[in-house]
Amino acid sequence: MPNVIDNGWLTSACHRPSPNCDERPKDSAINLLVIHGISLPPGEFGEGWIEDLFCNQLDPEAHPAFAELSELQVSAHLLIRRDGSVVQFVPFAKRAWHAGKSAFAGRERCNDYSIGIELEGTDECPYAAAQYRVLARLARHLMECYPAITPQRIVGHSDVAPGRKTDPGPSFDWPLFRSML
């Protein structure tokens, strides 16, 4: 079971602090978990470009797809790589910039009250078994730490930004993941 240390960092994760975060609004309790899918370049895995994007270090010359991304300021709390390893960018008490314009259950600005977990993957490519195992373990742990996060409050990016986002996509096996919770 991963441990959260006092300052909101998982002891079991690799830490790569992102500047793309800020304080949550006062009285904004964490009560939502948003699951994302990302690959950089699109459809490619394991090169470390996602980490560079979240830390504002993406080289726009490294790939044609990076030119428009290099100026973005985005982050997530966690990234689960294809092999199940975890990178943490933002402590849980802070607001990561992962959901953008979003709403859940009639409440806008999901970044204010959510934790964002990115899975290295695409809408079309099945996610790895190791990712499901780690995601389920982390989700259970986060539900213990933040009891307002219930299974019904674990959603995809597509659920909070419909029409704008599609991830984690049809390749994400929600029934499998929910059975693992």
Query: Would you call 153 helix, strand, or coil by DSSP?
Result: helix
Q: How far is CA 168 from CA 13, 33, 173, in A?
A: 21, 13, 9
Query: Would you call 164 helix, strand, or coil by DSSP?
Result: coil
**What pTM, to 2 d.p., does this model score?**
0.96
Question: Element (H or E) spanning 159, and its range?
Answer: helix 157-160
Look up the CATH architecture of domain 14-180.
3-Layer(aba) Sandwich (3.40)
Single out the catalytic residue among 61, 118, 120, 144. 118
pLDDT in tens, 89-141: 999 999 999 999 999 999 999 999 999 999 999 999 999 999 999 999 999 99
118 labelled catalytic: yes
pLDDT at 2 over 80: no
The pLDDT value given to residue 95: 98
Q: Where are the domains of the chain?
A: 14-180
pLDDT in tens, 40-79: 999 999 999 999 999 999 999 999 999 999 889 999 999 9
